[in-house]
Amino acid sequence: MKFNILFLLCFLLSQFSFAQENGILNNSESKHVKFKSINMGDCQWTEGFWADKFKVAQETMVPYMGELLTGDVGHALNNFKIAAGLKEGKHKGMKWHDGDFYKWIEASMYVYAQNKDEKIVEEIDGYIDIIKQAQAEDGYIHTKVQTEEEMHRFGNRQHHEMYNFGHLYTSACIHNRITGKSNFLDIAIKNADFLYSKFMPEPKGLLKRFGFNQTQIMGLVELYRTTKNKKYLKLAELFINLRGHSKVEPTDVSSYKHIGDMVQERTPIRKAKTAEGHAVLALYYYAGVADVAAETGEKALINALDRLWSNVVDKKMYVTGACGQTHHGVSKHVDMIHEGFLNEYMMPNLSAYNETCANVCNSMFSYRMLGLHGESKYADIMELVLFNSALSGISVEGKDYFYANPLRVSHDGYDPGNDTEFDVRQPYIPCFCCPPNLVRTITKVSGWAYSLTENGVAVNLYGGNKLSTKLLDGSNIELKQVTNYPWEGKVEITVEKSKKEPFDILLRIPDWAEGSKVLVNGEVINTEVKAKTFTVINRQWKKGDVLTLDMPMDVMLLEGHPLIEEVRNQAAIKRGPVVYCVESPDLPEGTDILDVYLPLKSTLTATYKPDLLGGISTINGDVKLRKDNKEGMYREMSDLKWDTYNAQFVPYFAWANRGKAEMSVWIPVVLGD
């Protein structure tokens, strides 16, 4: 008997996990994840770039968006009230508008994780109660389908049922992890059970090809991680296994515009070599597949994800981390492509689409790949997106949005004439998917900043913060990070509490930061410090130890691969992780952006300006301004006249905050000075 009790005790201890279950992704028990999440709220921004952005998010972005979505402009809450029978009227907004509301709730939760303002939970509880009343008895919830007679359930995959469901699952899991409450989670479970009964063990007929914007895969994995009920993981896996095995042809549930490569159904993912189709659909799908692979460890899926990630970042991504080169185009299988990927190296600037959601999804996909592989290149992309093509989607003030994020804007050039591409930021966009997607990302960056590793902690992203968490062995660790990154390259991390035994601190050395130095208590470490890797410092850390990372912050001129015809003989300016642009307010009045050239010998110097555009480093340097009358499609090259002007370059993310302007990231270079 004694033996049995002892055995039982040993067994229970061996099963006891110190891993953290309240991360953005709860991968605490995911056997195939190398970098695990810290609990939300364990990293708090203190000062500097992300602290400033979070403050704007807390004070303006989230409350302002709440006013929009719960009021008559955004109409999202109204839709739930109408579906619940609490209000008269018609559904307004896109078919995926419920999902946008769930994303805003998720953003509110990330704010609450940091500030613990109970008013946020009370307010959200009121909305959850309305959502609950809108939910059908069998668990179905989609306010547009429920309130419009001519629409019926699963009548067209473009109605975004799976998308709304997926965002519901994710948002409800986050709400549950942060508040400990189950009121929202219960709604998600009821819906997921409905979805399970509809699709398992095998969907019938046209449902085999169902699914459009498949956020339900990510959501179902998170629901599995929250409830431990394996059926949700099985359902997530089913949606992956179904894709790519049906004949590609228009049907009642899938119009000719939304089939084939457009929705990643031409090739089963395990065989896919190139990222295709709608960029948001593709990247949400890949992110979901990465979540499933984190649980199952299936090699074929991981290999496919490796190929797809590399195809995106090496051959289809903009210098800003943005994805989805075109609004309308065609795949190599001649399927119509909407808001999506083009061929490799085909990178137009004026007509670049780069939906904010696609850029955000690129960072979400990369965060999951970081978990699977623990390699710094994935965090490099997360950072590239965050500082550039994500933040470009919202004004410095926090109230005006961009949906598309081109790399050049000329008022005489590309005229999109549609409702997603603008040259001036918009206070509301009828297709509102991007704003809450971006705001939930800005509010959760602190959860991405660190990961827990086998015997330590990895610093993925830099910014002034305090980390108070537990390592995977259950020991307490507290770090204080002080830095003026990304404007300065020095980061100082002080150990405030740690276990006595040796453990690792991993510092990401960004891909651009060759020549970085790492010091412990002022002494250069023995380990080699290489860009594109994590430097691992293993030692017996003690309170007061100071770890210093010094990254070179030279202004760099980038060029594109010669196969990118659209940037041949042009340069982009980058300093640290921040990509710069030249913009009308920093040029003589009336200058045409197409007349700006950059002398290769121009001396470019950075200056920190605390009062400009929320506090940024600008770069100054001479440019050449050409007087070109631009007559004729082709003309003899003659009469080249230039003026020299000392121009200011601003971070790309901060453009379009000073009135209507033209802008360009890539600038044609001229030899000489």
Q: How far is the CB of 355 from Zn ion (least distance, A)?
A: 5
For residues 52 and 72, what is the distance between their CA atoms, to the nearest angstrom?
Answer: 30
Cβ closest to Zn ion, residue 292 vs residue 433: 433
Do residues 285 and 214 touch, judged by C-beta distance below 8 A?
Answer: yes
- Interface characters, 337-356, with Zn ion (x: CB under 5 A): ------------------x-
Contacts of 15 (CB under 8 A, 6+ apart): none
- Closest distance to Zn ion from the beta carbon of 525 (Å): 43
Cβ within 8 Å of residue 446, ≥6 positions away: 43, 44, 45, 50, 54, 114, 465
For the chain, what's the residue count? 673
**Contact indicator for 114, 442 with CB cutoff of 8 Å:** no
- As measured in angstroms, the least distance from the Cβ of 429 to Zn ion is 9
Residue closer to Zn ion (CB basis): 163 or 210: 163
- For Zn ion, which residue has the nearest CB? 357
Neighbouring-strand partners of residue 278: 340
User: How far apart are CB 646 and Zn ion at their closest, in Å?
Assistant: 38
Taking a C-beta distance cutoff of 8 angstroms, is the pair 70, 127 a contact? yes
Which CB, 222 or 355, lies closer to Zn ion? 355
C-beta of 437: minimal distance to Zn ion in Å? 6
Asked if residue 323 binds Zn ion (CB under 5 A), the reply is: no
Whole-number minimum distance, CB 148 to Zn ion, in Å?
A: 23
Q: In the range 20-79, which residues lie near Zn ion by CB under 5 A?
A: none
Q: Please, which residue, 94 or 519, has the CB nearer to Zn ion? A: 94
Give the nearer residue to Zn ion in terms of CB position, either 434 or 505: 434
Residue closer to Zn ion (CB basis): 144 or 225: 144
Rounded to the nearest whole angstrom, what is the least distance from the CB of residue 446 to Zn ion in the complex?
23
Which of the residues 409 through 448 are near Zn ion (CB under 5 A)?
433-434
CA of residue 158 relative to chain centroid, distance = 23
For Zn ion, give the closer residue by CB, 370 or 434: 434
DSSP characters for 461-503? S-SSEEEEEE-TTS-EEEEEEEE-TTTS-EEEEEEEE--SS-E
Cα(518)–Cα(546) distance, integer angstroms: 11
Burial class of residue 286 (count of CB atoms within 10 Å of its CB; 0-12, 13-18, 19+): buried
Smaller CB distance to Zn ion: residue 85 or 427?
Answer: 427
3-state SS string over 201-269?
Answer: CCCCHHHHHCCCCCHHHHHHHHHHHHHCCHHHHHHHHHHHHHCCCCCCCCECCECHHHCHHHHCCCCCH
Q: At closest approach, how far in Å is the CB of 174 from Zn ion?
A: 19
Choice between 61 and 433, CB closer to Zn ion: 433
Q: Which is nearer to Zn ion, 96 or 210 (CB)?
A: 96
Write down the residue that tokens 């668990």 correspond to. Answer: 139
Neighbours of 155 (CB within 10 A): 14
Residue 393 Cβ, how far from Zn ion at the closest point, in Å? Answer: 9
Q: How far is the CB of 217 from Zn ion (least distance, A)?
A: 18
Quickly list DSSP for 44-111: EE-SSHHHHHHHHIIIIIHHHHHHHHHSTTT-HHHHHHHHHTSS-S---S-TTHHHHHHHHHHHHHHH
Residue among 161 and 355 whose Cβ is closer to Zn ion: 355
Q: Write the interaction track for Zn ion spanning residues 375-414; mark x where CB under 5 A is met and - where it is not.
A: ----------------------------------------
CB of 161 to Zn ion, least distance (A): 18
Give the DSSP letter of residue 426. Answer: B
Q: Which of residues 211-270 bind Zn ion (CB under 5 A)?
A: none
Helix (H, G, I), strand (E, B), or coil: what is residue 528? coil
User: What x/- string results for residues 355 through 374 when contact with Zn ion is judged by CB under 5 A?
Assistant: x-x-----------------
Angstrom distances, CA of residue 5 to CA of 11, 13, 162, 647: 10, 12, 48, 77
Please check whether residue 431 is in contact with residue 454, taking contact to mean a CB–CB distance below 8 angstroms: no
Cβ atoms of 304 and 270 within 8 Å: the answer is: yes
Q: Considering CB under 5 A, how many residues would be counted as binding Zn ion? A: 4
- Residues forming contacts to Zn ion in the complex (CB under 5 A) are 355, 357, 433-434
